Structure 1
Amino acid sequence: MQSLLDPAILFFALGVFAGVVRSNLEMPSAISRFLSIYLLMALGLKGGFALAASGFTASVASSLGLAVLLAVVVPLAGFAVLRRMLSGFNAAAVAATYGSVSAVTFVTATQYLEAQHIAYGGYMAAAMALMESPAIILAVLLANALRQQQAAAAHPATVVGVAGSGAALLGAPGLGTAAPHRADHGGQPLSMGKILHESFTDGTQLLLLGAMVIGMATGDAGKAAMQPFSGDLFKGMLCLFLLDMGLATARNLPAVRQQSPWLLAYAVLGPISHATLALGLAWLLQVPAGDAVLLMVLAASASYIAVPAVVRYAIPEAHPSLYVSLSLGVTFPLNIVLGIPVYAQVVERVWGG
């Protein structure tokens, strides 16, 4: 109960309430953008300072390696489940959304751990960056394999004997490899190279990793110089950003009510399953407790910014209202209000026992 009285959580609740009662409270888009840039920059700096102090140890390697493994397993498992409820393209888009991560959920989790005096590695910011892109790339490969399947059904003589990695991802023999390009909404070809470029050079990742490198390079001297910016202001900025996220969540509630009960169940149970998988793997590898909590949070989170921005054009056959409403309207508030403290308590009991 004490975790619900955290100012950041209460400001999120205030934003939801303001949106539900249709208040005219709003956050200017330029300020929202500034807040997101600030949080990513501060988070990257903190991670860099922590890495400068600890170095790249076996514990760091195991945590980051586990993050990459989860980034591949979660979207593939999600696609296998969602394919039973949705069309292939919608299933790929939703699987990408839930296979990627939410930076705001991660930042909120780090603040919770600090408030509870639970140590974690600042390098986990790198884990978050590593987990963002694999799901997008896998979703694009799956979508391209589906298009090959459709083309094979329409023109079987033109694809006989062709097999490739995209078909293997779908588990369907005899399909071609991912198509070299397709047209986006503007009629321009959207190549796999373009998707990879957008995934790996996305501004959020670039800023996060760049700030982390700067933090590593400057070490203790940089930490002392940046403390008023990346330390003292951080909590207040997070509260403002969560207020804005509460307003955004409220705006997505009407779309949530239109979704199938099965999809709503997935938006709740899927993240819990992903977090449980992360818990088991972290326990097997003896990852530090604080890192284990953050891995659970990352595995359970869902992207509502980076993935929709790319998938909207990479998989135009999918419906954006579907994957955005589920991630922002259901999974995000569930993790912010209940998930983070529950994951921390579970890790405390398992690691403490």
Structure 2
Amino acid sequence: MQSFLDPAILFFVFGILAGSLKSNLEIPPPISRFLSLYLLMALGLKGGFSLAQSGLTADVLISLAAALAMATLVPVLGYLTLRRFLNRFDAAAIAATYGSVSAVTFITAVQYLDNHGISFGGHMAAAMALMESPAIVLAVVLANHARRTTTLSNEPVSAVSNAPLGRILHEALTDGAQLLLLGAMLIGVLTGESGQAAMKPFSVDLFKGMLAFFLLDMGLLAARNMGKLRGQSVWLLVYAIAGPLVHASIALALGSVVGMSAGNMALLMVLAASASYIAVPAVIRHAIPEANPSLYFGMSLGLTFPFNILIGIPLYVQVAQLWR
């Protein structure tokens, strides 16, 4: 209950309510874009300042390796599961969406840990960046394979050009938001304590209010995308909730094996359980045009994102603490 009394979470709930009532309340897209970039920049700086203090330790490297392992395992498991009741293109697109990560979910989790005085490593922001692209690459490879081995609309799939993996990889690795996160982290590492003191009014004092404003926008978007799932298979709805729980459980087991702290393990669980609704859908829409956007976008933003924000984050943190 305490998490629901957080102002940022309450603004998210308010956004869902306003969107469900079909209110004309909206955040202009340029402002929404600015808010997302601000949050990523502030998160990158915070991670960089933390890394400047701790250095590149064995714990940091182990955490990054665990993140990469989850970024590979989750989309593979997702594709094998979804392939049982979906065509290859939809299965690959959804697997990519759930194999990648949601930066806003991660940022909300970081704020939750800060509010509850739970320590974590700033390098987990780098883990988030590392986990964004592997699922996209895997999905494109699977879709290209599907085009060579099946037919589409009664025509040879070979008539449909394969998505060029090099171009998709370039788009995934040079995404502006991801570059901003990594660039801000590098600046934080280089400037250290002096940079932290100079940027505190920007990256710390404003952070909570900016997050609340952005979560209001996310609540509006989530409410308006829930309708896209009407009439879809019940198994998709189950996967949108059960999938993240399974992925978080795997991350919990992996984090425990490699000896991660409770805070870092909770963030790894959040990353594994989250689903991208910005970067991956934007790439997949062009790379796998055969897939239905209402499925992977509606599932990630309409169900998984609200579940993680309202229930998942407090659950993952509590379980990680109890486990450790």
The answer to whether TM tops 0.5 is: yes
Secondary structure of the structure 2 residue equivalent to 1:117: coil
Equivalent position of 2:149 in the other structure: 149
Does structure 1 residue 267 correspond to structure 2 residue 228?
Answer: no
Under a length normalisation based on structure 1, what TM-score does the superposition of the two structures give? 0.89
Displacement of 1:145:
0.7
Does structure 1 residue 101 correspond to structure 2 residue 74?
Answer: no
In structure 2, do the counterparts of structure 1 residues 154 and 319 end up closer, same or farther at CA, with 3 Å as the change threshold?
A: closer
Does structure 1 residue 326 correspond to structure 2 residue 306?
Answer: no
Contact persistence 2:229–2:299 (CA under 8 A): yes
State the distance in 1 between where 2:229 and 2:256 align.
35
Return 5+ residue gaps in structure 1 as ranges.
156-178, 184-188
Contact persistence 1:256–1:330 (CA under 8 A): no
Displacement of 1:259:
1.9
State the distance in 1 between where 2:82 and 2:163 align.
25
State the distance in 2 between where 1:319 and 1:259 align.
11
Equivalent position of 1:288 in the other structure: 261
Kindly, what percent of the aligned residue pairs are identical? 63
Contact persistence 1:301–1:331 (CA under 8 A): yes
State the distance in 2 between where 1:150 and 1:336 align.
39
Equivalent position of 1:166 in the other structure: none
State the distance in 1 between where 2:164 and 2:274 align.
28
Does structure 1 residue 198 correspond to structure 2 residue 171?
Answer: yes
State the distance in 2 between where 1:14 and 1:154 align.
48
| CA radius of gyration, larger in | 1
Instruction: Spell out, residue by residue over 1:226-265, the C-alpha distance to the aligned partner (whole angstroms, 9 max, x if none).
Output: 0000000000000000000000001112112232111000
Instruction: Spell out, residue by residue over 1:138-188, the C-alpha distance to the aligned partner (whole angstroms, 9 max, x if none).
Output: 00000011111127x988xxxxxxxxxxxxxxxxxxxxxxx9x964xxxxx
Contact persistence 1:8–1:235 (CA under 8 A): yes
Equivalent position of 1:236 in the other structure: 209
Equivalent position of 2:92 in the other structure: 92
State the distance in 2 between where 1:123 and 1:229 align.
20
State the distance in 1 between where 2:226 and 2:236 align.
14
Instruction: Spell out, residue by residue over 1:102-143, the C-alpha distance to the aligned partner (whole angstroms, 9 max, x if none).
Output: 000000000000011000001100000000000000000000
Contact persistence 2:144–2:163 (CA under 8 A): no
Does structure 1 residue 223 correspond to structure 2 residue 223?
Answer: no
Return 5+ residue gaps in structure 2 as ranges.
none
Does structure 1 residue 117 correspond to structure 2 residue 117?
Answer: yes
Contact persistence 2:74–2:99 (CA under 8 A): yes
In structure 2, do the counterparts of structure 1 residues 43 and 182 end up closer, same or farther at CA, with 3 Å as the change threshold?
A: farther
Secondary structure of the structure 1 residue equivalent to 2:150: helix
Secondary structure of the structure 2 residue equivalent to 1:193: helix
Secondary structure of the structure 2 residue equivalent to 1:85: coil
State the distance in 2 between where 1:228 and 1:198 align.
33
Contact persistence 2:102–2:276 (CA under 8 A): yes
State the distance in 1 between where 2:155 and 2:290 align.
18
Contact persistence 2:140–2:163 (CA under 8 A): no
State the distance in 1 between where 2:309 and 2:235 align.
22
Equivalent position of 2:218 in the other structure: 245
State the distance in 1 between where 2:21 and 2:155 align.
51
State the distance in 2 between where 1:154 and 1:40 align.
44
Equivalent position of 1:74 in the other structure: 74
